[in-house]
Amino acid sequence: MTQHLFLTDEHEMLRDQIRRFVAERVHPVADQWEKDGFVPREILREMGELGLFGIRYPEEYGGSAMDTRATAVLAEELGRSTYSGFAITALVHTDMASVHLFNAGTDAQRAAFMPDIIAGRKIVAVAVTEPDAGSDVKGIRTNARRDGDDFVLNGSKMFITNGVHADLYCVAVKTDTQGPASQSVTIFLVEKGTPGFTVSRTLDKTGWRSSDTAELSLQDCRIPAANILGEEGRGFYAIMKNFQNERVVIAAMAMGEAQAALDLTLEYVKTRQAFGAPLWSKQAIRQRLAMLSARVAAARQFVYATAARDANGEDVVKEVSMLKALCGELVNEVMYDCVQFHGGTGYTRESTIERMARDARVQSIGGGATEVMLEEVAKRI
């Protein structure tokens, strides 16, 4: 039975299922994924077959029609895996890319793609960020000009998670270079192999090593107008709308990472001998870990409270901006001290905490930098 204020027994059953999957199918082999630079497709298909890619989607497409709280459980447990490259591979697919197709797609578009997406047979990426436009979505320069029943796309995208191995891309471009920026962005469905659409290069990152990340190029890439997601010129609003869900997911993932780091470090300091006694006997270490544990527990409750409000249809833009800023900074603070308390071991590549610290660094950058999030909060307080 659940003891959590915001979760049901169904949510806890989902947590147990994810935790078993991670223990059995991720932990034994994920070090190889870090070396290879991507998560094998068979693992993603297994996740689809288990229903982990359809948590929020209707049963008619193969989903289980749960709510934002279930998404937070998924994100927290994947973050807790200690392999955040694997975690973000799955979460971009479930909660940052495919949602654009589901939310704005026509019945025909959904029918054509959603069953394969939920089953893990097709993996999705979202291509918004560019070399000169990250958190500033209005600043994108990739453009599309109308040519009969088609649009011709030109430009580039940067830092695209799943960018190398995805089958389907939700690509944001400007279809009106003269009009207001907020009314000029359109999202297109672009399938892998479309002429003019290529992976320019795979990016070599500090962390998230098992997540394939790419720079994409569009050169006279011809896309049918029927591949527009939603209305032409309304893509900016679609992107802004999903930020609310996306930032809950990232915050939950960060708290999973932070708790896993604390668990590892508590185990280490209770067994590591120094000056004739375990490190745990040192008051400064005990109290620091106690305070970090309290702050992570508080932030985790904030995550689930916000997820519950989002599930009720409330406007939680201020709260998700707070969460993204708070959890992105907190997880990095936790990792810094956990590496410190591991001593020299924490600075070696054979150490789990070293990998986790590298992975966590991007949590205050990706999905909305801390500074941008704090400005969003400031507008609403």
Q: What pLDDT band is residue 1 in, cutting at 50, 70 and 90?
A: very low
Could you give the 3-state DSSP secondary structure of residue 223?
strand
Q: CATH topology for 9-123?
A: Butyryl-Coa Dehydrogenase, subunit A; domain 1 (1.10.540)
Right CATH for 236-378 from 1.10.1740.10, 3.40.50.300, 3.30.565.10, 1.20.140.10:
1.20.140.10
Q: Where are the domains of the chain?
A: 9-123, 125-233, 236-378
Q: Please give the Cα distance from 269 to 70 (Å, whole number).
A: 33
- Rounded percentage of the chain residues whose pLDDT exceeds 70: 99
Residue 130: active-site member: no
**Which pLDDT tens digit goes with each residue over 113-139?**
999 999 999 999 999 999 887 677 888
Closest by CA position to 161, among listed 38, 7, 279: 38
Is the pLDDT score of 2 beyond 60? no
At 333-363, the pLDDT tens digits run: 999 999 999 999 999 999 999 999 999 999 9
Which of these is catalytic: 34, 215, 232, 246? Answer: 246
**What value does the mean pLDDT take over residues 294-315?**
96
* pLDDT given at position 4: 72
How do the residues of the chain divide into helix, strand and coil, expressed in percent and rounded to 5?
Answer: 55, 15, 30
DSSP state of 161: E
Could you tell me how far CA 320 lies from the centroid of its own chain? 14
**CATH architecture classification, 125-233:** Beta Barrel (2.40)
Segment 329-333 long-range contacts (CB within 8 Å, at least 24 positions apart): 329/364, 329/370, 330/254, 330/255, 330/258, 330/295, 330/296, 330/299, 331/254, 331/255, 331/257, 331/258, 331/261, 331/360, 331/363, 332/360, 332/361, 332/363, 332/364, 333/292
Indicate whether this model's pTM tops 0.75. Answer: yes
